[in-house]
Structure 1
């Protein structure tokens, strides 16, 4: 999604060799996919090699809003339908899962935060209300962005979140969603953080798609910066959140074939920020993922593909599972 404020500066560029060694030590299997992509110099659509030079960043990524794009249209027919949560686990009754207490992730709690709510378009006064995010005050939420055809970020994030939930439940995890489009608008970014905190989640992932300039392609994972201001204190979650983010990024490359962002993160697929309430106010390991740029024709072709969205969910699930099994 995109913002009406400029993003925090990207972290200082480090040696590609040092980064490769560090992440490969954490996720050798997942990062192998990243290295294969780099070696071939291509992307999943058979296009030219990525641009490794620094590009102008988008208006931003995460919780805010730049240009929202066309008005939302009905969700595609291949999108999962929201369903009533089962007690203690926000899963659809039809989701396959192990017997209670079984599976490699049994006893683990994962919170999935689908970015934005499709009803936000009709509740601009409510979502423009400012909330305290520790470092400053920021809008409760935004509408998110959309592709030129009208496919909205909120539709995309709802679909991928439900796919991810099903995959994690199959491994025995207890999965909670911050919302399932079951409310008129919101929740606000501070409430989204509090949902993960109250659940004492072992991992939280907030799912988004960006709204950047044409030609800006690829995904990036946003990590919390060290923040200790007001009600925000990320001291204890910075390190585990980075571990989570690196695992998600490596597995996302491996399963989707998509490249790390060519406009943020110095080609690492990782970006550190201190201006997102969802991260600042979290007391449990949490990352954001921007899965692609909805304004680029090649990226939106992926984001609107049910097959690719399933791969995206699998990559996130593999990264989260690896983090929880470490």
Structure 2
């Protein structure tokens, strides 16, 4: 982590920066489909693909040699204790993940009555929490993700200038909520900046499950080495252990991820990752509690690399973040409408 950013806590549930898996015929086909554009993505075979349930190592993060541009919003460099700030609904921060377990934050405004997503429920999970760095003991505690144990949550990453991933993810979440609401969907957040920390990855999954979400997406930005750039969507591997059983959601989650990836390329102009997924913009993992414990179709999206100056130029631009939200929303809409 660079100067002026969060202290490096154990890495977050969803960080990548790992070498991609071995190539398969499906991966090769998907590379061609990305090059062909959105139409190709819509031919994705939700039942195909090689399961990847092994945890892969995280590559070392390299600090950028040039300073990244700052962006509006709370800085990860803020020092000293902060009092819980009001949420959008006017409530103050809860004491932590135990409060309202599995309840989530319901959209305060009614969705459009005649939209194409009328009757659909979408779970939006803004990655991390800007206050996590003030509660390291709580977020570092171990939780059961079915196939093992991981930290409750982590601080996430940031740009060299201190623009936090947690700030980015919540901003995109708000934009995404507005778009989906206008399409008629009911939107549930895992949190809306109102909590003192977290929620834990286990609760993030539980909130989507309790809401019976038709689709769920967790919003992130990566913290990899300079030169690693582009977005990728993380799909759940086929895993079973303890409370984890992804068998019912692997197929639909792959379809959801492929449609989000195709629309993200088209809408943002951002390329698929050049370091994860073999050029497809898709990666499969079995070590993420937010996916392992989900019983509804769910994916993570790493919208870019906060340590690469080229990607930082996109991530810190409000107009690009609006495009990112639109691309994700279009992918969700395509998936829900079949």
Distance change (3 Å), C-alpha of 1:202 and 1:25: farther
Aligned-pair CA distance for 1:193? 0.1
Give the distance between the partners of 1:259 and 1:280, measured in 2 at CA. Answer: 27
Aligned-pair CA distance for 1:83? 1.8
Q: Tell me which of 78, 85, 88 is aligned to 1:83.
A: 88
Aligned to 1:311: 323
Aligned to 1:98: 112
Aligned-pair CA distance for 1:7? 7.2
Describe how 1:154-169 pairs up with structure 2 within 5 A.
154-169=166-181
Give the distance between the partners of 1:29 and 1:98, measured in 2 at CA. Answer: 31
Q: Say if 2:243 and 2:293, in contact at 8 Å, map to a contact too.
A: yes
RMSD: 3.3
- Secondary structure of 1:263's counterpart equals coil
Distance change (3 Å), C-alpha of 1:153 and 1:67: farther
Distance change (3 Å), C-alpha of 1:25 and 1:258: closer
Distance change (3 Å), C-alpha of 1:134 and 1:255: same
Aligned to 1:199: 211
Give the distance between the partners of 2:152 and 2:225, measured in 1 at CA. Answer: 25
Asked if 1:284 is matched to 2:296, the reply is yes
- Secondary structure of 1:266's counterpart equals helix
Give the distance between the partners of 2:220 and 2:30, measured in 1 at CA. Answer: 25
Q: Say if 1:223 and 1:273, in contact at 8 Å, map to a contact too.
A: yes
- Secondary structure of 1:118's counterpart equals coil
- 1:112-152, Cα deviation, whole Å (9 max, x unpaired): 00000000010000000000001100000000000000000
Q: Tell me which of 4, 11, 14 is aligned to 1:3.
A: 11
- Secondary structure of 2:325's counterpart equals helix
- Secondary structure of 1:176's counterpart equals strand
Give the distance between the partners of 2:11 and 2:63, measured in 1 at CA. Answer: 9
Q: Say if 1:220 and 1:289, in contact at 8 Å, map to a contact too.
A: yes
Structure 2 alignment gaps of length 5 or more: 2-9, 44-55, 75-85, 91-103
- 1:31-74, Cα deviation, whole Å (9 max, x unpaired): 79xxxxxxxxxxxxxxxxxxxxxxxx9836xxxx979999xx99
Give the distance between the partners of 1:260 and 1:26, measured in 2 at CA. Answer: 12
Q: Say if 1:234 and 1:281, in contact at 8 Å, map to a contact too.
A: yes
Give the aligned length. 287
Aligned to 1:59: 58
- Secondary structure of 1:158's counterpart equals helix
- Secondary structure of 1:291's counterpart equals strand
Aligned-pair CA distance for 1:19? 2.5
Distance change (3 Å), C-alpha of 1:24 and 1:322: farther
Q: Say if 1:68 and 1:146, in contact at 8 Å, map to a contact too.
A: no
Aligned to 2:129: 117
**Normalising by structure 2, what TM-score?**
0.76
- 1:6-37, Cα deviation, whole Å (9 max, x unpaired): 877634313466326778999528679xxxxx
